[in-house]
């Protein structure tokens, strides 16, 4: 009931008591924390922009695709895929299920390092280029060219097959498109393929596809969302009325190219975080690949983004256990990616505002209302042992202010002054700091039992001074000195 001047009738109500209360207006469409993003400010730089040098400048087409260049290529593993204990730091290129496919140097440079091992990357070749980047070719079956002869000599000399050799710049130059090795299945490989990556001088691993120019790999297939989750991130937070993660699994996948839409409203309050599980596919490929970039928009504004186009090797790659919900993965089996920057996570793959991706679902505005009680009716109901509903819920029993002040207007929600005047005399005066519980705790408690939605109001914060009113009384409510409620009793 919102009137410029509220009219309360005392007809049939012989004893009417009025109590001024603060009103919290709920606006779930308001989610705090995105303001910095909408203004274009970014608190964190992506890894590819850090340490002064910025993202390596690589023109499209600088690197040659190392397997069957110019022909359709397929990936068994993409950059940033989520592995058991690390991010996948490069591309796994299919070799037709077999070994001994020619491996081509991606650009002019020189062989700077060679490693032969029964573990990890297996037989690996490193080619350093004029731009300071190094391309890595792993799980090889054979090395080709003069370096193969040098490897054989070193094996006899050192009497071992486990070798790591470093070479001077001028010893083994190579040209773009030169066959430098044959693909294989060595080391920790689970099947024949070429692992290919780009590194800088600090061993940061980069996604070669980010620089473009690779017609061999095409991706026009939309990612598949397997699950979305919402998790409370503070003790007062609630999701679907409880302090627990809500996991939402689509029952039917949308048509190709269509978005997954969750039709139901997800009720939440307080700081919460989103989590997602999904996969992507490249064109004409059946296998699942990782999702490299996730962007979150709130009310149409940029709110959060992570892009796994560069990972520090190996330390940063191990932080995958903080990037994921590690506990949920090992207890429930779902690999959920956190869409916020959790404590202890110093990966620089994020673009966020000051909230670091945490959604703050909060009430939107504060107003005033009067809670009237028909005491004569209440007394009769008490005598009969009946509920008091008729004494509290009658026409005009809860007039509310037509003005609600935005939460942003108040510097301190624990220090809001309000008072009620009856016929020009102050009858009630209160301050939100005198309330037994803060607003957040009240909303958190209520949301455990009642689903709060946009437009809902919570009456709370009644100061002392509750008293009777009579026909002809004029009631005025003030919030921080501003009159926002007028009620005439007749």
Q: How many CB atoms lie within 10 A of CB 257?
A: 8
Torsional sign, CA 111, 112, 117, 122: negative
Q: How many helices (H) and strands (E) does the chain have?
A: 7, 30
Q: Could you give the domains of the chain?
A: 6-30+362-489 (3.90.850.10), 32-51+221-359 (no CATH), 75-211 (2.70.70.10)
- Measured CA to CA, the distance from residue 47 to residue 308 in angstroms comes to 9
- Measured CA to CA, the distance from residue 347 to residue 308 in angstroms comes to 10
Q: Which two tokens stand for residue 5?
A: 């001047």
Torsional sign, CA 25, 31, 33, 39: negative
In 3D, which of 191, 216, 210 has the Cα closest to residue 79? 210
Q: Is the peptide bond before 51 cis (omega within 30 degrees of 0)?
A: no
Is residue 130 within 8 A of residue 109, CB to CB? The reply is: yes
Q: Is 338 exposed, middle or buried (0-12, 13-18, 19+ CB in 10 A)?
A: buried
Torsional sign, CA 413, 452, 359, 324: positive
Strands (E), 43-191: 75-77, 91-94, 102-104, 109-116, 123-129, 134-143, 163-166, 173-174, 179-183
Is residue 133 within 8 A of residue 92, CB to CB? The reply is: no
- The pLDDT profile of the chain, 490 residues, written as one tens digit per residue, is 222 233 443 333 444 566 666 666 655 434 443 333 333 333 333 333 433 346 788 999 999 999 999 999 999 999 988 888 888 889 999 999 999 999 999 999 999 999 999 999 999 999 999 999 999 999 999 999 999 999 999 999 999 989 999 999 999 999 999 999 999 999 989 899 999 999 998 888 999 998 888 999 999 888 989 999 999 999 888 888 889 999 999 888 777 777 888 877 788 888 999 999 999 999 999 899 999 899 999 888 899 999 988 887 766 667 888 999 999 999 998 999 999 999 888 888 899 988 899 998 878 889 999 988 888 898 999 999 998 888 888 888 889 998 899 888 899 989 999 999 999 999 999 999 999 888 888 887 887 788 777 788 888 878 888 888 888 999 999 999 999 999 998 8
Model pTM? 0.74
- Measured CA to CA, the distance from residue 67 to residue 64 in angstroms comes to 9
pLDDT of residue 17: 60
């Amino acid at each position: 009931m919102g009137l410029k001047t509220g009219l309360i009738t005392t007809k049939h109500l012989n004893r009417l008591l009025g109590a001024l209360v603060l009103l919290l207006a709920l606006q779930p469409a308001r989610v705090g924390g995105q303001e910095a993003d909408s203004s274009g400010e970014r608190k964190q730089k992506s890894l590819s922009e850090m340490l002064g040098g910025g993202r390596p400048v690589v023109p499209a087409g600088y690197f040659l695709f190392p397997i069957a260049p110019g022909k359709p290529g397929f990936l068994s593993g993409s950059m940033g895929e989520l592995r058991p204990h690390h991010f996948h730091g490069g591309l796994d290129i299919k070799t037709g299920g077999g070994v001994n496919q020619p491996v081509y140097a991606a650009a002019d440079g020189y062989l700077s390092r060679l490693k032969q091992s029964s573990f990890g990357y297996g037989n690996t070749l490193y080619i350093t280029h004029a731009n300071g980047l190094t391309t890595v070719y792993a799980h090889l079956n054979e090395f080709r060219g003069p370096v193969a002869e040098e490897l054989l000599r070193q094996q006899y000399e050192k009497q071992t097959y486990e070798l790591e050799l470093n070479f001077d710049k001028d010893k083994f130059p190579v040209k773009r498109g030169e066959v430098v090795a044959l693909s294989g299945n060595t080391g920790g490989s689970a099947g024949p393929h070429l692992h290919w990556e780009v590194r800088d001088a600090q061993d940061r691993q980069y996604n070669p596809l980010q620089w473009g120019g690779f017609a061999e790999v095409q991706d026009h297939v939309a990612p598949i969302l397997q699950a979305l989750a919402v998790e409370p991130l503070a003790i007062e937070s609630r999701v679907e009325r409880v302090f627990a993660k809500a996991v939402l699994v689509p029952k039917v996948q949308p048509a190709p190219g269509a978005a997954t839409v969750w039709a139901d409203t997800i009720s939440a309050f307080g700081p919460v975080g989103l989590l997602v599980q999904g996969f992507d596919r490249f064109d004409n490929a059946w296998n699942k690949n990782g999702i490299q970039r996730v962007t979150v928009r709130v009310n149409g504004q940029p709110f959060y983004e992570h892009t796994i186009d560069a990972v520090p090797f190996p330390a940063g790659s191990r932080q995958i256990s903080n990037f994921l919900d590690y506990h949920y993965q090992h207890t429930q089996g779902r690999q959920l990616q956190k869409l916020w920057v959790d404590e202890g996570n110093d990966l620089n793959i994020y673009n966020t505002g000051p909230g670091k991706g945490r959604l703050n679902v909060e009430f939107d505005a504060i107003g005033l209302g009067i809670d009237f009680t028909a005491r004569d009716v209440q007394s009769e109901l008490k005598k009969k042992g009946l509920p008091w509903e008729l004494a509290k819920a009658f026409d005009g029993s809860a007039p509310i202010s037509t003005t609600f002040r935005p939460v942003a207007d108040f510097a301190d929600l624990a220090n809001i002054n309000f008072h009620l005047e009856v016929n020009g005399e102050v009858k009630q005066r209160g301050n939100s700091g005198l309330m037994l519980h803060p607003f957040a705790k009240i909303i958190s408690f209520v949301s455990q039992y009642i689903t709060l939605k946009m437009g809902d109001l919570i009456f709370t914060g009644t100061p002392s001074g509750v008293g009777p009113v009579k026909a002809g009384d004029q009631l005025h409510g003030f919030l921080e000195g501003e009159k926002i409620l007028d009620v005439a009793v007749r």
